[in-house]
Amino acid sequence: MNYNKIFNKAFSSLTPITKNKEICSNVMERAKKMNEKKKITFKRPLAVVIAAAATIAAATISVGAATGWDFNGAFDSLFKKNTEWMKTSPDYQENDIYEGGFDFSKYGKELDLHYTFDDYTLSIKGVIADETTAYIVYDVVFDKDYDYKEKKDYTNWEMISLIETTDKAMHTNDGDIISVDDNRFTFYQMATGSTENKTLAGNTLVVDFYRLSRGIENSVDCDALYSEEQTLDCGLTVEIPVDFPIYEPRALTVSEENSKANLIDWKNGKEFEVEAKLETISISPLSCDFSFMTVIPADGLSKGDGYGLDDFYFTDTSGKQIEFHVNSYSVDVDYETGAMRYHVRLNKPIDPDNIVSATVGGTTIELK
Amino acid sequence: MIVITPQEFTRLVELFSGTVFRTALCYVKNKHDADDVMQDVFLKLYTYNKDFESDEHVKAWLIRVTANHCKNLLKSLSYRLFEPIEKAENIPTHEEKEEELLSIIMQLNQKCRSTMYMFYYEEYSVKEIAAILGEKETTITTRLSRGRKQLKKLLLKGGYNELQ
């Protein structure tokens, strides 16, 4: 899910009922009356604004050595988990689910960092990334004598954590438990960011692990998230330099012939087709980019509209269609020229070298 | 340095009325109450007798004051007794698709909703939100983490398999 996009879509066209001019006159009138009555009481202390927050100290006891875990297996489980929910979707198809077998070991980095706390050990296992997306997998292994087991009505354990790059261009987008094996809980965190002149290569991922917790969800009292909570503090900050090979995109220029594609313009909740020409495609195992030049409709391209891709799938060397239910995508639109750039994050990995064609906007383009 | 003169105030209303309105809406879930809160908050700004360092400083101050004002309003007995009609209905604000998404966001826990709004819409960092709201960073990240999970569930339930 692209939460920035969701919030932008929901809130961007919301405006106050009262016009700005009216707000000013109302406020000035009220202030004048208050002044006359000498009842001005709004002298509040200066708010603390954007103060630097306290540094979180890493409460580690030890940083251990590698224990020989399965890098491929860990990321395989992540993407299996990532596509599993599709089974409940009404338009579910068998190949929606990632079945495993992708070789993640070519890129990314095995980290094997172990931090021991009073009741559990946190092990950061590995990271994979392309230019705009990073996945980190880590384990929490509870001490056997700690009360970690499943409890009636309790939610799953969750690690409250945040990833940001040092330049703040990318941050946490998603995270969850991948698997539970007795006292071993495997989690992932995903960070995503803008593609605009930024790349994760050479950047540093700063991961703040705040605390582990679980509780009973409270649907009645809106002031309390959970009525009861079991919490273990963590307070650990780990910096992961992206000094390892990341998935570089395979960039392709689309030939003039057969590059016509149709995009969808959601205007006021209705779908319209927008004629476009696909210009470039770049594909990495974790995400892909498409750039289009649209034929600007007579009524123009509007900022409030949503611009979507229809019929988006790849075909591999064996002729099999690889369809995606995208994790999220972002669209950059140049409203003057009609240029549009889609950045799509995939919910299962692909090998760009195995892709022979892309079908997008109703048009199939051979990739050479 | 920003000194609140009538001219400066007019400029700040132009600049931040939307932010104050949307922040208030995240708390009170009602467009008319949000509008009232917004006017009260701007009255506080107009009668505030200290200067601000920058527009960003004003914005952060406005968000904090809006949050506090809304919290007080939500706590007040009269507000609880006369629950606004809009709460149980769709918020008739804008176009269908956006309205649908907004209704889903409004089903989130209030604390998660306002925190996610500040993070994902206003693009404040966790540290900044913590400072503005006077909360711990861990509290903010907890709300973001749980808010994301809640929202994901609600979106899937609402048929949003992918965001279009």
* DSSP output for A90-135: TT--GGGS--S---GGGSSEEEEEEEE-SSEEEEEEEEEEBSSEEE
**Of the ranges A123-137, A263-277, B74-88, which is most confident?**
A123-137
Residue A68 distance to chain B (closest CA, Å): 30
pLDDT for A194: 61
Residues in chain A: 368
- Give the residue-averaged pLDDT of B125-133: 88
Cross-chain CB nearest to B39 (options A23, A176, A327): A23
pLDDT digits (tens, 9 = 90+) for A268-303: 555 677 888 888 888 889 988 888 888 887 777 776
Identify any residues that bridge with A346 across adjacent strands, giving them in sequence order: none
Winning range, highest mean pLDDT, from A128-142, A185-199, A245-259: A128-142
Confidence of residue B50 (pLDDT cuts 50, 70, 90): confident
- For A122, phi then psi, to 5°, come to -105, 125
CA distance B133 to chain A (A): 9
CA A37 to chain centre: 53
CA distance B16 to B59: 7
Q: How many CB pairs under 8 A join A and B?
A: 201
Task: Give the pLDDT band (50/70/90) at residue A201.
Answer: confident
Instruction: Give me the pLDDT at residue A53, please.
Output: 25
Residue A27 CA to residue B17 CA, distance in Å, equals 13
What is the model's pLDDT at position A40? 30
Query: What's the pLDDT tens digit per position in A5-31?
Result: 888 888 887 888 888 888 998 888 888
Q: What is residue A218's predicted lDDT score, i.e. its pLDDT?
A: 59
Type of residue at B12: L
Neighbouring-strand partners of residue A343: A289, A330
Check: CB of residue A72 under 8 Å from CB of residue A103: yes
How distant is the Cα of A329 from the closest Cα of chain B, in angstroms?
8
Complex-level ipTM: 0.84
Q: What is the pLDDT of residues A355-364, one digit of tens each?
A: 888 887 777 8
Q: Is B42 on the interface with A (CB under 8 A)?
A: yes
Instruction: Say which residue the tokens 């279009």 belong to.
Output: B164
- Write out chain B residues lying below 8 Å of A304, CB-based: 95, 98
Helices (H), A249-300: none
Interchain pair B137, A53: CB under 8 A: yes
- Min Cα separation A347/chain B (Å): 11
Distance CA A63, CA A290 (A): 42
Q: Round to whole Å and give the CA distance between A272 and A307.
A: 10
pLDDT surpassing 70 at residue A65? no
3-state SS, residue A142: strand
Kindly report whether the global pTM for this prediction surpasses the value 0.80.
Answer: no
B55-75 vs B126-133: helix axis angle to the nearest 10?
A: 60
A326 contact B CB<8A: yes
Tokens of A284: 């990495």
- Chain A positions touching B164 (Cβ under 8 A) are 264, 266, 306, 308
Nearest to A14 among B32, B93, B164 (CB): B93
Residues 6+ apart with CB under 8 A from A33: none
Tell the residue number behind the tokens 């919030």, with chain if given: A7
- Answer whether A18 touches B (CB < 8 Å): yes
Orientation of helix B6-28 relative to helix B31-46, angle to 10°: 140
Ranking A51-65, A124-138, A171-185 by mean pLDDT, the lowest is: A51-65
Q: Give the pLDDT mean for A205-221.
A: 77
Nearest residue of chain B to residue A346 (CA atoms):
B162
- Return phi, psi of residue B24, to 5°: -65, -40
Average pLDDT over residues A175-181: 88
Give CA separation, A348 vs A109, A129, A240, A322, B106, in Å: 19, 13, 24, 10, 31
Residue A224: DSSP 8-state: -
Query: Measured between CB atoms, does A77 come within 8 Å of chain B?
Result: no
Give the residue on A whose Cα is nearest the Cα of B103.
A10
- The pLDDT assigned to B42 comes to 94
Higher pLDDT, residue A248 or B89: A248
Q: How far, in whole angstroms, is CA A68 from its chain's centroid?
A: 29
Q: A164 and A172 in contact (C-beta within 8 Å)?
A: yes
**Greater model confidence, A4 or A172:** A4
Residues of A in contact with B138 (CB under 8 A): 160, 210-211
Helix (H) or strand (E) holding B106: helix B96-106
- Is a pLDDT exceeding 80 seen at residue A195? no
Eight-class DSSP state of A51:
P
Q: For A259-271, what is each residue's pLDDT tens digit?
A: 677 776 666 555 6
